[in-house]
Amino acid sequence: MARIFSVDIGTTSIGFAVVEHDHGTQSGSILRLGVRVFPEARDPDGTPLNQQRRQKRMARRQLRRRRQRRRLLNEILNKAGLLPAYGSTGPQGWDAVMSADPYALRKRGLTRCLQPYELGRTLYHLAKRRHFRGRDLEEDVEEISQTEAAEEKEAASNREATLAELNTTGTTLGAWLADKSADADKRKPPRERRRGFHANRAAVEKEFDKLCEAQEKHHAVLRDRDFKHQIHTAIFAQRPVFWRKNTLGECRFMPGEPLCPKGSWLSQQRRMLEKLNNLALVGGNARHLIAEERAAVLKHLQTQASMTWGKVRSTLKPFFEDGAEKRLRFNLEFGGESKLLGNPLEAGLAKIFGPSWTDHPHKQAIRDAVHERLWHADYGEIGTQRVVIRDAAERKRRRAEAVRGFIDDLGVTSEQAAALEGLTFPTGWEPFSTKALEEFLPELEAGARFGALVNGPEREDWRDRTFPHRERPTGEVLDRLPSPAVKEERDRIAKLRNPTVVRAQNELRKVVNNLIALYGKPDLIRVEVARDVGRSKRDREELLSANRKQERRRKDAIKDLADKQIFEPSRDTVEKWLLWKECRERCPYTGDQIGFDA
């Protein structure tokens, strides 16, 4: 008799069973059944429990940096005689100078001479209200709530409206705000407050330049380039955006190899082929695409960022008769995907090079080099720990160097190189290394499904040959699952980035160890993992939305059946109604209309 532990892992529960099974007689008995229920490591809306703590820490850091920036600017201006010492008293003390209306000074400083302390007050106010800079490059941002997304969308709309009005009037931000009615609430003098007006930092920098240009004739210190640069840096300097490389994980097929960037041609080709190879027809004629159909779709998809489902149907028209392609439905389409993903980078290259791209002698070299060279122009690496976005001037210089390299090394014309310089790429990394994806690619091009290559038991021999050093169970025999008190286990858990997975693993350890204490070590453990254990908040929201949509469809089915005198229909009846509607009330084989009674 074999003793089997079976566990079903969910996001908030672990079901378990202990079974004794005789493989010879195919009989056995259940020794124990149960479930361990636990709270998910997230709030009910899917927010991680530590998110609020992280936000508070970020707010403290922001306040500290803001205080340091203003203190530095105060020291520079005080040394130049443009501001009194902080905390000084009297008619020319700190409080007296700071009580002046900064908006009126910002407007007056463009046309008339400001007194030294007035000029200092104006510059100090620019540092306090330097506004939103925006991202140097579009990055993958952390998932945010719908409320936060709506607030950011509204703020972005306000910034655009402000910029449009500044361009129309030809004035500076400070002068424009000086003419706006003040907000008199919250115990502040009316002249001190202007709320609800959003702008970009570029508008503040433009005002700084105009203000310095207007005041240079009155204050010799502003004609000193080093001093002006010092002030500009103190007001506008931005710490580089960075992320820690140790949070990216490691390729489990080739440990130690660098991960493949999502913006590379290889990554985009992999994702395109994964979607294409998973594409299948649904309904009565459910099946995967045959080789000729797949090749026809691939021919169009290869040089497009995406294909609409209507375009996919028209591409498959030669393989169907009597307009049957119009009735085709696809699994990915029903899964909620609005279009079939292509290779955006390949599409961009085909557009840049035109007809010559098909037989270009350096085709693959350009595919590989364009992302690698432009990525290193935009990003810098600090040792093996961090990746940072370079500042705008450095990015521009390095991209120009990359363009010259394309011309010298790859036979690219100056016009084509200029177009390549303007390419942008998605950010982030694959969970697989570049070398691993290079091994996957020939199999994907042959039509293999990516899920089977990664996990399918039918491709185990291929994985053994191709990735002999991939991560596998250690083979170590343990009496119990290790506790987080053990350093190795603690280090392993520390690498996990999903709190739901961490909580589920800890609860699984308790369940299995308790069962071992009661029944001894099992001969076999069978595990079923819920798909949403490792899902992100956004994925879970999309899944919930899809479930609700399906619920509405089932309710529509039940209501329609009730209208037709079929009350309390069975599950099979509801499924039959859904399939009937999915096929547009027609036979998928003959195209004949199917009436309700049939």
Region 92-109: mean pLDDT is: 92
Residue, of 74 and 200, whose pLDDT is higher: 74
Region 299-305: mean pLDDT is: 88
Region 567-592: mean pLDDT is: 86
Tokens for 108, please give them. 């007056």
Average pLDDT of the residues of the chain: 86
- Return the minimum-mean-pLDDT range out of 100-114, 141-155, 423-437: 141-155
How far from the centroid of its chain's Cα atoms is residue 18's Cα? 41
pLDDT in tens, 496-516: 777 888 889 999 999 999 999
User: Are 14 and 34 spatial neighbours (Cβ–Cβ below 8 Å)?
Assistant: no
Residue 142 has pLDDT above 50, yes or no: no
Tokens for 533, please give them. 């254990």
Half-sphere exposure of 143 (CA within 13 A, CB side): 12
Residue 482 has pLDDT above 60, yes or no: yes
pLDDT at 282: 86
Residue 44 has pLDDT above 60, yes or no: yes
pLDDT in tens, 246-289: 777 889 999 989 999 999 999 999 999 999 999 999 877 788 99
Band of pLDDT at residue 373, cut at 50, 70 and 90:
very high
Question: Amino acid identity, residue 334?
Answer: F
Band of pLDDT at residue 298, cut at 50, 70 and 90:
very high
Residue 185 has pLDDT above 70, yes or no: no
SS3 content of the chain, % helix, strand, coil (to 5): 55, 10, 35
- DSSP class of residue 222 equals G
Region 538-543: mean pLDDT is: 70
> Hey, is 342 helix, strand or coil?
coil
Residue 181 has pLDDT above 60, yes or no: no
Region 405-423: mean pLDDT is: 90
2 DSSP β-pair partners: 21
Sheet holding 379-382, edge to edge: 242-244, 386-389, 379-382
Alpha helices in 520-570 (DSSP H): 537-563
Distance CA 573, CA 567 (A): 11
User: Are 313 and 326 spatial neighbours (Cβ–Cβ below 8 Å)?
Assistant: yes
Report the 10 Å Cβ neighbour count for 130.
Answer: 19
The residue written with tokens 């080099």 in the block is: 369
Distance CA 257, CA 36 (A): 39
pLDDT in tens, 146-178: 555 666 677 777 777 777 877 777 889 888 888
pLDDT in tens, 352-362: 999 999 889 99
Alpha-carbon distances, residue 294 vs 299, 313, 316, 320, 457 (angstroms): 9, 12, 9, 14, 24
The residue written with tokens 């010092």 in the block is: 230
Region 388-417: mean pLDDT is: 89
Distance CA 226, CA 76 (A): 12
Region 36-59: mean pLDDT is: 81
> Hey, is 294 helix, strand or coil?
helix
> Hey, is 454 helix, strand or coil?
helix
pLDDT in tens, 202-225: 899 999 999 999 999 999 999 999
pLDDT at 176: 86
Report the 10 Å Cβ neighbour count for 234.
Answer: 19
Residue 183 has pLDDT above 60, yes or no: no
The residue written with tokens 């009005």 in the block is: 165
